[in-house]
Amino acid sequence: MKSRFFPLIVSFVVFALLYAFAYSRFSSFGSMRVVCNLLRNYAYLGIPAIGVTFVILSGGIDLSPGAVIAFTGVFCALMIERHDMHPLVAFTIILTIGTLFGAMIGVFVYYFKIPSFIATLSGMFLARGGAYVLTTDSISIRHPFYADVSKIVYVFPDGGRFTFAAGAFVAVVILGVFLAHYTRFGRNVYAMGGNETGAMLLGVPLGRTTISIYALSSFLATFAGIVLSLSKRSGDSTIANGAELDIITGVVIGGTLLTGGVGYVIGTFIGILVPGVIHTYLTLDGSLTPWWIKIIVGLLLFIFIVLQKLLSRQYTFFKPLRLPIRGKAKAEV
């Protein structure tokens, strides 16, 4: 077992233990109702978390997804309700704007050498401010297209409802896994996060890859805003406030190292669902306040950060085995 798999294994074990404990207390955790609700309720965090995973894998950070989600919802609501634009046209326009917005951040990060924390923090203020400039009201969307999308649902025998939002979340996870592990772009991202200088010497196009990473992250955040607007049937400039921190927390709990180069998309999927399991359990229990979610997630985040600190040192938990070769000579295996 290699050390880079250790955070992912820990993430899976934590999730499995939490879910098993919840199931032991409430048998409803064994139904598809709970699973579908988790996927639906956390889709707006999970979809942009896949994009942020690529950013962190490359050694950067992205603080803008929450604001981009809010701006997307407000933009779609205004275009559809007040300008009589068809939703598909509005979606195409905002996805283009969101992708270009992320690409612009990537340009500043690579060519102007602005730290990703500062560049994306500026992007967060820009997108959130833009949402408030458009409107400070919550705008309901009554277009028939939204009603039609809400009818796209698969009902399991036990009553679980697999909605469009849940399906979009699962589809993005599958595409993220493929992109990270079966494409040249994914290999370039891992190479950049592991050693940027080494990646450059190997011929990795750092500029193009950096711009593509932030464009992808913003594209998925915009898509999450569309999915959320379809679920809520409204646009609100205050929505997803602080979501960027929940997204980063899910990525870290999923086993992606903040130093870059180590992590898996499937780990992010698990990390995003961990707070969902805790929230569902506390809701069914009723004896504890919802603030316990923050406490438990904070403890998990602290544990994973300490784990990452240990893994990022020069040594690993699994020291190399030394075998004698021809007497005194030794080699590391």
For residue 87, count other CB atoms closer than 10 A to its CB.
20
Tokens standing for residue 276:
């969902």
Is the model's pLDDT at 20 over the cut of 90?
yes
Asked if residue 121 lies in contact with residue 128, where contact means CB atoms within 8 angstroms, the answer is no
Asked if residue 261 lies in contact with residue 194, where contact means CB atoms within 8 angstroms, the answer is yes
Residue written as token pair 């960027």: 244
Mean pLDDT across the chain, nearest whole number? 89
Burial 258-276 (b: 16+ CB within 10 A, else e): bebbbbbbbbbbbbbbbbb
Is the model's pLDDT at 272 over the cut of 50?
yes
Q: Give percent of the chain with pLDDT exceeding 90.
A: 71
What are the φ and ψ backbone dihedral angles of 158, each rounded to 5 degrees? -90, 5
Rounded Cα gap, residues 55 and 217, in angstroms: 7
Rounded Cα gap, residues 285 and 26, in angstroms: 9
Is the model's pLDDT at 8 over the cut of 90?
no
Residue 3: which pLDDT band, with cuts at 50, 70 and 90? low
All structural domains of the chain with their residue ranges: 3-316
pLDDT for res 293: 78
Q: Give percent of the chain with pLDDT exceeding 70.
A: 92
Q: Which residues contact 161 (CB under 8 A, 6 or more apart)?
A: 33, 36, 40, 153, 154, 155
Is the model's pLDDT at 134 over the cut of 60?
yes
Mean pLDDT on 196-204: 89
Mean pLDDT on 231-245: 93
Is the model's pLDDT at 279 over the cut of 90?
no
pLDDT for res 330: 43
pLDDT digits (tens, 9 = 90+) for 286-321: 777 777 778 888 888 888 888 777 766 643 444 443
pLDDT for res 318: 40
Angle between helix 291-311 and 265-285 (nearest 10): 150
DSSP strand pairing (234-235 vs 161-163): unpaired
pLDDT for res 21: 93
For residue 155, count other CB atoms closer than 10 A to its CB.
12
Q: How far apart are the first and last CA of the chain?
A: 13
Is the model's pLDDT at 259 over the cut of 90?
no
pLDDT digits (tens, 9 = 90+) for 21-64: 999 999 889 999 999 999 999 999 999 999 999 999 999 999 99
pLDDT for res 228: 96
pLDDT for res 247: 96
Q: Does domain 3-316 have CATH number 1.10.3470?
A: yes
For residue 301, count other CB atoms closer than 10 A to its CB.
17
For residue 92, count other CB atoms closer than 10 A to its CB.
11
Is the model's pLDDT at 329 over the cut of 80?
no
Is the model's pLDDT at 102 over the cut of 70?
yes
Lowest mean pLDDT among 120-134, 152-166, 276-290: 276-290
Rounded Cα gap, residues 160 and 320, in angstroms: 49
